[in-house]
Amino acid sequence: MERERIWYLARFNILAAMNPEEMAVFNREVKDTKYKRGETIYLPGDQSDAVYFVKKGRVKLSYRDKSGKSLTIRICSPGEPFGEMAAMGEEVRPLQATALDDIWLCWVGRERFARFAEAHPQITLRIAKMIGLRRQEVENRLEELLFLDVPTRLARTLVKLADKHGREVGGKIQLQVRFTHRELGDLIGATRETTTAALNRLQRDGIVTRKLGKLLITAPERLRELARG
């Protein structure tokens, strides 16, 4: 069990610089936990008391306004941390974290992680770089919401999902993960009904289709053209 956990920890991007001895020490601070698809890991306003690492499955980080409207900020895949701002002084969570699949996480308390990062400056540098990249990603998302229509936002999102979760099959791209229309809508800042209408149009145009419950991009270059607006 200990070897298996260290094997996973070594594949987390912000921990990759540690040597085996340091990894073994860090492993003793780590706890494991599992969630079912749809379960909430934390809510906005909860205490930022831990840093999480995705071992299996996907985690959705989303913002929810007072009316209940949700916007997905990021989807974290295996090998990615989330909630890392807890180690940078964040007191309460601004976002909601939800399991998109049956997931397996490991986590470490904020104070212990902060002490470990302080003793290993390369971790702090990696976290700072990651925070900068994620901030830029959020700014890009907000720009898309302000200036692009729903079909273009959907096309861009599908291109990104294909790059991250796609497998090429005979010139087509099969997404390896399932997304409901509501989940896609949360990604592009649109209602489920509007997202369904945009997807139906892509299907009528022969750009995407469904295969075994997953999206198959049948015309990747046409989709990229739409994504360019």
- Tell me what pLDDT residue 102 has: 95
pLDDT at 116 over 70: yes
Residues 9 and 103 placed together within one structural domain of the fold:
yes
Residues 77 and 44 placed together within one structural domain of the fold:
yes
pLDDT at 7 over 60: no
> Which of 34-38, 101-105, 116-120, 189-193 is least confident?
116-120
- Tell me what pLDDT residue 113 has: 87
> What is the SS3 string spanning the chain?
CHHHHHHHHCCCHHHCCCCHHHHHHHHCCCEEEEECCCCEEECCCCECCEEEEEEECCEEEEEECCCCCEEEEEEECCCCEECHHHHHCCCECCCEEEECCCEEEEEEEHHHHHHHHHHCHHHHHHHHHHHHHHHHHHHHHHHHHHHCCHHHHHHHHHHHHHHHHEEEECCEEEECCCCCHHHHHHHHCCCHHHHHHHHHHHHHCCCEEEECCEEEECCHHHHHHHHCC
Final residue before a domain boundary, out of 146, 178, 196: 146
Residues 77 and 159 placed together within one structural domain of the fold:
no
CATH number for 58: 2.60.120.10
Q: What domain range includes position 152? A: 148-227
Number of domains forming the structure of the chain: 2
